Amino acid sequence: MGKPLSMKTRSPLHEFGDRFGEISALDPAGRKAGELVRRLIPQGPVKTVLSGRMLGHALHPVLSDVPIGSWTSATVLDLIGGRDAAGAAETLVGVGLVAAAPTIAAGWSDWADAEREDPGARRTGLVHAWSNATATLLYAGSLVARRRGARGRGVALGLAGAGALSLGGFLGGHLSYAEGVGVGTRPMHEPPAAES
């Protein structure tokens, strides 16, 4: 466990995911973001909760199920539920937005631990975060449009959000499952190494 997939099991999509880890132009922004996150979420009780130490594994993937599930369900209702499902779709978009806040905090906390040691994780993690931030903003716009009675615009923004969310989700899975980021060999009860 915690090791990247062998070359025998890697697909062209894994190679696509690897390409983001090669974009060294992201390093200056990544290093600054990592320093900022480590200042905002220092070692302590909040970091302990966001890291998922009480679970024995990372919290971020668990939390991500709620916004992803809510927004995916809203998309299904938008595409096949018709006007009768408009209220439920709107509610699901709102639930996803509320759930996004702790999900984002946990993700940044985990990423800030990995980015110092793994340039590929730094780069891919930034694109993952930007994709998901774009999705969150699009879904926020979708909710505003829906509440103003512009359902068509809300659905369109939601579909655009689903596209951004798909890329972000793929890269999150790539980081966790193909690259082993966040899986680690350090026991969960031990905090990450202090910044030097």
pLDDT band at 13 (very low <50, low <70, confident <90, very high): confident
Q: Which residues contact 188 (CB under 8 A, 6 or more apart)?
A: 51, 52, 53, 55, 56, 57
102-106, 133-137, 192-196: which range is least confident on average? 192-196
Tens of pLDDT, residue by residue over 82-123, are: 889 999 999 999 999 999 999 999 999 989 988 888 899 999
- Residue 150 sits at φ, ψ, to 5 deg, of -95, 70
Mean pLDDT of the chain: 87
Residue 45's pLDDT is 93
Q: Which two three-digit tokens encode residue 154?
A: 């809300």
Question: Hey, what are 8's tokens?
Answer: 């025998």
DSSP string for residues in 92-114: HHHHHHHHHHHHHHHHHHHHHHH
Scan for tokens 């940044």, then name that residue. 108
> In sequence order, what are the residues at sequence separation of 6 or more whose Cβ sits closer than 8 angstroms to the Cβ of residue 78?
85, 89, 155, 158, 159
More confident position, 179 or 137? 137
Task: Write out the two tokens for 62.
Answer: 């668990």
Q: What average pLDDT does the segment 32-41 reach?
A: 94
CA dihedral angle for residue 107, residue 112, residue 113, residue 116, rounded to 10 degrees: 140
Q: What is the pLDDT of residue 183?
A: 57
Residue burial 3-17, b: 16+ Cβ < 10 Å; e: rest: ebeeeeeeeeebeeb
